[in-house]
Amino acid sequence: MWSWWLWFKQIIDDIDFTRFKKNPKWVIGYSDITILHAQLNNKLKIASLHSPMAGAFNDGGADSEYVLSLKKILAGKRATYSCNAHELNRPGIAEGELTGGNLSLVAHLTGSVSDSNTKGKILFLEDIGEYIYNVDRMMLQLKRSGKLDKLAGLIIGGFTDMKDTTIPFGQEVYPLILDKVKEYNYPVCFDFPVSHSERNYALKSGVKHLLRVSKKAVQLKEV
């Protein structure tokens, strides 16, 4: 099946951003648009919004806290989010630029001109419809390429509609990810509201944030 990210991948190096750089606007969206966020944040050093899109406004969604988070940012307000702690969270405090998006895209961009230098940054990841074994493979790719070892912090969002093989992989997604970063000391939080579901806060990718992770709560605040 054709995917939009394949289209973005084929045209990204042919897009002329000259006029955009002179008068940048917010690029808004998530999932396949991760490649545009990466190009803007990592190559052009321009912030963008990983956030709900137009479809989130349907069926009363315009009044949800997640759509309102986008409206607040567009109105010039700084983002501050809090959510409940997850049992696998690793406590700590981190400050750094937000980077990331859809895990599949982040992994596929490794080694490209849009790739991110994650040193000292807060990486956020989410995905949908992937096989558990493939999440394991992509996390290993990030680890072996050095993307996980010098982070300031790690935010794991929703991994929705996950699939397993006939012979089960033997591990759920969140414990799998925690296992990949067990030797590092930075804070890690799970089930943060950034995802393909309606739980999807607007995040300023390419902007510095403060992340506080405890056993009771998680706070992400723009600084």
pLDDT digits (tens, 9 = 90+) for 149-178: 999 999 999 999 999 999 999 999 999 999
pLDDT, tens digit (0-9, with 9 covering 90-100), for 67-120? 999 999 999 999 999 999 999 999 999 999 999 999 999 999 999 999 999 999
Which of 74, 141, 155 minimizes the C-alpha distance to 108? Answer: 141
Write down the H helix ranges in the chain.
4-11, 18-22, 34-38, 65-74, 103-108, 132-144, 173-180
Domain assignments of the chain as residue spans, ordered by start: 4-222
Sign of CA dihedral 41, 44, 47, 51: negative
Which of 190, 173, 113 minimizes the C-alpha distance to 137? Answer: 173
User: What pTM was computed for the model?
Assistant: 0.94
- Confidence grade of residue 2 (pLDDT, cut at 50, 70, 90): very low
- CB within 8 A of 187, min separation 6: which ones? 89, 90, 91, 92, 93, 94, 153, 154, 211, 212, 213
User: C-alpha distances in angstroms, 24 versus 59, 88, 204?
Assistant: 31, 39, 14
CATH architecture of 4-222: 3-Layer(bba) Sandwich (3.50)
- Confidence grade of residue 57 (pLDDT, cut at 50, 70, 90): confident
Q: How far apart are CA 122 and CA 210, in angstroms?
A: 9
Q: How far apart are CA 181 and CA 62, in angstroms?
A: 37
Write the burial class of residue 69 (CB in 10 Å: 0-12 exposed, 13-18 middle, 19+ buried): buried
Write the burial class of residue 147 (CB in 10 Å: 0-12 exposed, 13-18 middle, 19+ buried): buried
The pLDDT value recorded for residue 9 is: 63
